[in-house]
Structure 1
């Protein structure tokens, strides 16, 4: 899934950048766009969510749930962009949005009863710094990084039922750091910016089962989200 995101990003960026850098067309689109103090826009995109597990102790036995299996799927992002120009090559961005995703979680391949489908709806709010190169014709690469928080509307955090009743529970609030890269493409009517970004949770997101030696959660010291966002921004 993540290889697909990378391949899609590079193919799209290469096709646009090749046209801008090597064509005979040298007309500057939206020449004064980056002189604005504030600019606004929206984004649409795809995502892939995963989990990273840290275990309390090593135990290769499959009955303890040591090697948990996560099934990743493609999800969808949508949101708004607020951009504050700090300098010619530096911007501060707020990108509140909503992410929808479904993951599969299974303790062992041999026992299908341990499978849980995790439907997640996140209100995701990143605060990012965007570092750009100087503009070359209608093409400008950039890197972006920052911190974010999210509200998991499907967390089940306060649900009294645990995995033994078929309920997988996570924390409602999570905190992340993010890093990525992309390219600004200045078109005739607007600026189009494809970007790819890694999202890494800082806190432990797992709500333990009511049984301390649970097959599902008993040996987990920390469970945190890892995600890849492929966004298409229009400003």
Structure 2
């Protein structure tokens, strides 16, 4: 909820500060030929909120909490570059390589006493997206975006010989996702500014199971995948 409120607040501030871009009688189009370019480039800054989704082999909830796991999500930071290829007036192909920093506080409820994990991850995140835009209205243009992505988790601990019995939670280095979101292109005097929000949903199993076959920590997990919300502010 805080992420949605942050997005709404920033968007409201942009609209207020540049009210002329939404004025129906405004005849001045900022950067009128910007979207005619075959190629365009930019960068983005933003926030993320990562979560872990679990599928169980057999779901037997804890008597005390009714849960096997508890994930406490925190707000992280994104930064990256954008390469945009115009296909036609309403369709663009985008490559958005970036780095995402996140932290997840994680609790096993049915495991040994040492069951709390603080997972600090650094992802090299590489999405390939299709952007479907409406017709430009004065100085703004709404759009939806979707596609596939992959990431390299630089903090995965995949090859660490220690497992949860030694206090190490291990994830796979490479993961795959699908993404879907929406945003608004705002045409300023000298650049295009784009606030957007996007959901990221894991397709692959990302957990590295403990070496102990009947581990209290991981033996009942059929699949663990990442989910995330990205709020990005793009400058082109």
Q: Please tell me the TM-score bracket, short chain as reference.
A: over 0.9
d(CA) in 1 for partners of 2:43, 2:28: 25
Q: Which runs of 5+ in 2 are unaligned?
A: none
Q: Deviations over 1:18-76 (max 9, x none)?
A: 7232475432110100000000000000000000000001212359x952001111100
Deviation of the 1:14 alpha carbon? 4.2
Q: 1:110 to 1:154 in 2, by over 3 A?
A: closer
Matching residue of 2:4:
6
Q: How does 1:23-38 map to 2 (within 5 A)?
A: 25-38=26-39
Q: 1:27 to 1:148 in 2, by over 3 A?
A: same
SS at match of 1:103: strand
Q: Is the 8 A contact 1:45 1:232 kept in 2?
A: yes
Matching residue of 2:130:
129
SS at match of 1:113: coil
Matching residue of 1:149:
150
Matching residue of 1:229:
230
Matching residue of 1:51:
52
SS at match of 1:224: strand
d(CA) in 1 for partners of 2:14, 2:79: 23
TM superposition score normalised by structure 1: 0.93
Matching residue of 1:119:
120
d(CA) in 2 for partners of 1:163, 1:111: 10
TM superposition score normalised by structure 2: 0.93
Deviation of the 1:99 alpha carbon? 0.5
Deviation of the 1:9 alpha carbon? 1.8
d(CA) in 2 for partners of 1:175, 1:104: 22
Q: How many corresponding residue pairs?
A: 232
